[in-house]
């Protein structure tokens, strides 16, 4: 392994025991060479493989093992855990809402004064059923309430983790929106590579494709619409607010990915920009 790392002219299998699969995978991931060479012949000459077929078989095994290791590392990265969490929170919210509506509708047929939604399901969950039908209706509402509780717990996890993973992005967008943007882009590094125009419309892919087909106007914003700076700006200036927000979020993502230090001036600059945009509507 030392030869592989220290000399760019060494074969990837230099110094690797043919029976050590982990060492072979590491050599494939970390090895390098300045120019191609007749590696199969060299592998046979040095005794790494009995023939070229065996060389390619060992290379394939090492490559597959190295790929699996890289995938495990990526899945364990902090931004990937954040992506899993924000997607789970969305799924839990959908499931809780749907089940709550079903449960409260059922409960309303056997109880008086039943309200809809998750809070209505929570109230039904506190009741003591007296019949088999009531027991089942209450059971469904309890499941809906449990799903909502788990949703809240996952959201709290996101609120705690997002500032650690992307401090500037979370500071500007809030933890949940920051996590959603990271998830939509596929990771913090992927988000950092996006131009601000793409960040502006993340989450509006259907509307964008419809626009490209000539069936709809160009979308002004995607999920960043949930940010107060966009949603609470007058409609005629909302596009400007979305562009300003997307521009700063793009910078924040790049700072988070490449350096990770919190820069409060980004928020101050965004505040000032939005204030000037909104002032246009007061004139």
Judgement on whether residues 25 and 98 belong to the same structural domain of the protein: no
- Residue appearing with tokens 């995978």: 25
Boundaries of domain holding 161: 77-165
pLDDT digits (tens, 9 = 90+) for 226-237: 999 999 999 899
Same domain, 71 and 88: no
Domain CATH code at residue 176 = 1.10.246.90
Distance CA 82, CA 166 (A): 10
- For the stretch 86-107, pLDDT in tens is 999 999 999 999 999 999 999 9
Q: Is the dihedral of CA 271, 274, 278, 283 positive or negative?
A: positive
Return d(Cα 86, Cα 91) in angstroms, integer. 9
Q: Residue 125 and residue 144: Cα distance in Å, rounded?
A: 9
In terms of Cα–Cα distance, which of 137, 79, 135 is closest to 108? Answer: 137
Token duo for residue 184? 């939509």
Q: Same structural domain for residues 10 and 92?
A: no
Which conformational region is residue 234 in: left (phi greater than 0), alpha (psi within -120 to 50 degrees), or beta?
beta
Long-range contacts of 90-94 (CB under 8 A, 24+ apart): 92/147, 92/148, 92/150, 92/151, 92/154, 93/148, 93/151
Do residues 191 and 261 share a domain? yes
Average pLDDT of 67-79? 65
The contacts of residue 170 (CB under 8 Å, 6+ apart) are 162, 163, 178
CA–CA separation, 245 vs 227, rounded Å?
9
What is the per-residue DSSP string for 71-98? HHHHHHSHHHHHHHHHHHHHHHHHHHHH
User: Does residue 247 share a domain with residue 154?
Assistant: no
Domain's final residue, options 118, 136, 165:
165
Distance between CA 145 and CA 134 in Å, rounded?
16
Quick one: 172 and 279 in the same domain? yes
Cβ atoms of 280 and 182 within 8 Å: the answer is no
pLDDT in tens, 136-172: 999 999 999 999 999 999 999 999 999 999 999 999 9
Q: Are residues 15 and 57 in the same domain?
A: yes
Q: 122 and 67: one domain?
A: no
Q: Are residues 129 and 170 in the same domain?
A: no
Say whether both 200 and 257 belong to one domain: yes
Count structural domains, the chain. Answer: 3
Residue 181 sits in the same domain as residue 275:
yes
Q: Which of 165, 188, 218 is the last residue of a domain?
A: 165
- Distance separating alpha carbons of residues 177 and 170, to the nearest angstrom: 8
The residue from 104, 139, 165 where one domain ends is 165
Residue 17 has a pLDDT of 87
Task: Check whether residue 171 and residue 262 sit in a common domain.
Answer: yes
* pLDDT score at 47: 87
Q: Give 182-194 pLDDT, tens digit per residue.
A: 999 999 999 999 9
């Amino acid at each position: 392994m030392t030869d592989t790392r220290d000399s760019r002219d060494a074969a990837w299998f230099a110094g690797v025991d043919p029976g050590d699969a982990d060492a072979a995978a590491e050599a494939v991931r970390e090895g390098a060479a300045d120019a191609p060479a007749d590696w199969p012949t060299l592998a046979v000459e040095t005794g790494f493989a009995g023939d070229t077929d065996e060389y390619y078989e060992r290379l394939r095994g090492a490559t597959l093992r190295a790929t699996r290791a890289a995938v495990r590392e990526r899945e364990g990265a902090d931004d990937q855990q954040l992506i899993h969490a924000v997607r789970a929170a969305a799924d839990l919210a959908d499931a809780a809402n749907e089940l709550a509506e079903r449960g409260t509708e059922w409960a309303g047929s056997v109880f008086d004064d039943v309200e809809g939604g998750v809070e209505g399901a929570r109230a039904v969950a506190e009741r003591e059923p007296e019949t088999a039908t009531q027991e089942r209706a209450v059971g469904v509402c309890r499941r809906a309430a449990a799903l909502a509780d788990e949703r809240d717990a996952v959201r709290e996890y996101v609120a705690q983790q997002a500032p650690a993973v992307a401090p500037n992005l979370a500071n500007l967008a809030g933890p949940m929106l920051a996590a959603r943007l990271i998830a939509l882009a596929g990771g913090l590094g992927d988000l950092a590579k996006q131009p601000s125009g793409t960040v502006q419309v993340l989450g509006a892919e259907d509307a964008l494709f419809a626009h490209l087909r000539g069936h709809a106007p160009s979308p002004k914003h995607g999920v960043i619409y949930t940010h107060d700076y966009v949603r609470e700006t007058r409609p005629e200036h909302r596009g400007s607010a979305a562009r300003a927000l997307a521009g700063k979020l793009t910078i924040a993502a790049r700072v988070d990915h490449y350096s990770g230090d919190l820069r409060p001036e980004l928020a101050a600059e965004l505040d000032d920009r939005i204030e000037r945009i909104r002032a246009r509507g007061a004139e």
